[in-house]
Amino acid sequence: MGCTHDCESCSTSCSSKSEQSLKIELNELSSVKKVIGVISGKGGVGKSTVTSMLAVSMQRKGFQSAILDADVTGPSIPKAFGLKERAKGSELGIFPAITSTGIEVMSVNLLLEHETDPVVWRGPVISGTVKQFWSDVIWNDVDYMFVDMPPGTGDVALTVFQSLPLDGIIIVTSPQELVSMIVEKAVKMADMMNIPILGIVENMSYFQCPECGKKHSIFGDSHIEEIAAKFNTKVLAKLPIDPEFAKCADTGTIEMYVSDSIDEIKLS
């Protein structure tokens, strides 16, 4: 009760205190106001696409957005934004890539010689990379940073939860997943780490026929509202299967795509 998540100024002894000590320092030249983790139960449900769209939407609303791509073994953020140049650095730190609308991005793909090079690294190396994206990158005046988390609740997800000062998490699901179980796992993990869940985005929720306008539930009927209510959270958006969406994400033009459902999400 009344927890401000600022353990340094708090005298209460509680379980989250030991977690707090694992937090790592932001680069002294960086400024990041809010950090939001985007998670999913498994790969391929659209977590990276939703992360990108959230950053695009907040940037359009006038906030400085950033994306920290913690999905180190499956980095798809640079591709969605058409970023090809390798990140540059100086003795002060690494500079994030800047997208055409000004979003700051750091991803392992910006450091590899070829974007097709696989990341064949063990867990601790991957976790160390994510920590360095926080501590060694110079994030310039960021209002909202979105962290594209690796799918599931493994080693790297745990590192992000423990080392970065997350203000909240957003869960991305699709109707064909074992949604209830996945949401429950995410809720429990976030509870253990004392991080609020901001809500659920159901991706690939339906397909709207361009001819007759009828909505079809391709992956079966959605039960996301009941599931959200069960876990005391809310549905932030239900996104359709949209070939245009896939085209923009796959051709590096995600900043051209406008989603009213994403724009309606209120994070501030």
Question: Interface with ligand ADP by CB under 6 A: which residues?
Answer: 40, 43-49, 76, 203-204, 239, 241-242, 245-246, 249-250
Question: Which tokens belong to 8?
Answer: 């340094």
Query: What value, to the nearest 5°, has the Cα angle with vertex 121 and ends 113 and 110?
Result: 30
The smaller minimum CB distance to ligand ADP, of residues 30 and 205, is found at: 205
> Min. distance of Cβ 219 from ligand ADP in angstroms?
11
Looking at residue 244, its amino acid is: E
> Min. distance of Cβ 59 from ligand ADP in angstroms?
18
The smaller minimum CB distance to ligand ADP, of residues 93 and 152, is found at: 152
The smaller minimum CB distance to ligand ADP, of residues 32 and 204, is found at: 204
Region label for 107, one of left (φ > 0), alpha (ψ between -120 and 50) or beta (otherwise): beta
Distance in angstroms (rounded) separating the CA atoms of residues 259 and 164: 29
Q: Count, in order, helices (H) and strands (E) of the chain.
A: 9, 12
The smaller minimum CB distance to ligand ADP, of residues 30 and 109, is found at: 109
Phi and psi dihedrals of 239, rounded to 5? -105, 140
> Min. distance of Cβ 194 from ligand ADP in angstroms?
25
> Min. distance of Cβ 249 from ligand ADP in angstroms?
4
